[in-house]
Amino acid sequence: MESTPQEEAEGQAIVQVLAVVLERLVSANSHLAASQQEETKFHALRAPAIGILQYLERIHKYASCSKECFILALIYIDRLIQQNNF
C-alpha cells in the first residue's frame, strides 16, 4: 500500500526524533564504555560507517515499519531512560 506524502513526512519526522534520542543516549553512555574493563559481545572495534539517522531511514523505507512501530520504540527507550536514571 502506497503512503501519501503527508504520511511519509510524518514517518520521516518520527524517525528523526528517534534518531536524536538515540544519538543523545549514545553520547551520554559513551563515557561508560571507556570505564568498563571487560569487553562483551556488544563491543565493536570501530563505529559503523552508517549513522543512526541513516540506519533508521533505511529501516523506515525498506522494512515497512509503521509510524506506530517507531513511536513504540520511543516509548520503550523513554522507559529505559527513566528506570536507569540517564
Residue type, 28: A
Q: Structure pTM?
A: 0.78
Using alpha carbons, list the distances in angstroms from residue 31 to 34, 46, 55, 83.
5, 15, 23, 19
Q: What is the pLDDT of residues 4-38, one digit of tens each?
A: 889 889 999 999 999 999 998 888 877 765 666 67
The 10s digit of each residue's pLDDT in 44-78 is 778 789 999 999 999 998 998 889 999 999 999 99
Q: How many Å apart are CA 46 and CA 17, to the nearest integer?
A: 25
Dihedral sign computed on CA atoms, order 58, 68, 66, 7: negative
